[in-house]
Structure 1
């Protein structure tokens, strides 16, 4: 009898325990789960640009929570302490009490500004980009110190200064040497051979030579020229001449000139190179006119000339080589 009473008591306790579990299960099934399913959703507020304290206030007032994991990153666009990233993003709908993760700005990352003075603008852009900076405002002036056009004369801020990442560096460029104005001299009755070095010494060029027989003026002497006497000229301007005498015929002896020139490696990194040829036809043949990197070997197809010929090579409007040919 005693054993039966104990067994009955144990069974009674088990039944009570199972009953309690059943009630808990029913509550979870019919009340807690539906409450979770029916929890309303809210839109995540836009927190970008807010201070941490303002962001926390917006999050909690929306019924959401702040993720305890807080990240910081440098930013050139937001002051230190402002929100630059959020997860989930603004207007995304989530359940109440869900956490929002924030990333705050640690301020602008500072980089050392490279020295770009004396470099061409294209090279300066590369140096600035490599360290995370941008070209800002650009101005240009004439200068004798930096004769090559688009060379950087000065920069703001100065080199080695610490500057915010993605910031701007303002540049002052060279327009080259200020053009000098010359007054056209009277070259009439002067030999064209004597006039040539005189003009070249002032940076002027001989253009078209038109030969006309003259009963009183010797062969090769200047009769007239354009521009006329007294007109203002710029360095590099072309002067055309009317010269006494006659030309040799096209079928006279002649040959082909090889066009080859290595750009000098001294001075500017890039130079304007001009190669012109003049023969007894007195026609100026321009075979090269462009910008080339220092050390570049320029080769062009041979050019046919008649009789005596002269090849002149200029770098940045400066005569660097003269070659005479005769057949």
Structure 2
């Protein structure tokens, strides 16, 4: 037992371990040679970039163009321009125009210069020239009806003047300018001449009492208005001092004559002309607003000096009254 192992150790007391054999080393992986980029790869890359850029350009701009300038072109010229631009002609409408010659383009849709897809269509509006109207005959119509007829035809009633007429009743149209049947542009103004009725000679009623004046004017077919104010005149207070229209003037039947009544003559101081020559005396008295009557008698036939006057100098007399001077 003494030669055997003790406690699990060898007899010589030396602890031994078994030797492990290491695996053979893995040979290093050889690096594959990196292929060189040749000219073909560069060309492909460039073409790829160009292709992408071209696609982006086409999406954003390449498929669009602009509507060419077509205004004031004939329809045929406009069609040619659109064809050259790669565009089609859409609807062609016609409209009146006072500024664009007949047969030429007024407008486009889309408008000139607008962006549009190629091969899309552009609509055209072509001028038929100015809209014209044949002037209706409005003579013999009341003014309001004549205006209505003109407006119904697309015309504007223009300036109205009045004239006497023995044939056309007052307030009715005598004629128009331009005359009926004339071709004019729509919207043109048409002047009208309207009757004032038959003319009436205005009688002279100055110096009359108001009631007498009214009766005379009414007999002539005229109306009367009495003015609020009164004026000094040669006529007595309350008599007609003046009238409008003036006596002898012409008025239409039914027109109104305005009468202004007198508040009596204005009292004026009479110049002293005794001792003056006849010419000087007359000038002074007339300048003051008086009429002059000369009394020469037998003794004053060849005289030239004022001996006396009917109203003494310094006194007052009605304006327009007569002062008599005695000459010796």
Please classify the TM superposition score into its range, dividing by the shorter chain length.
0.3 to 0.5
TM-score normalised to structure 2 length:
0.45
Structure with more strand by fraction: 1
TM-score by length of 1: 0.45
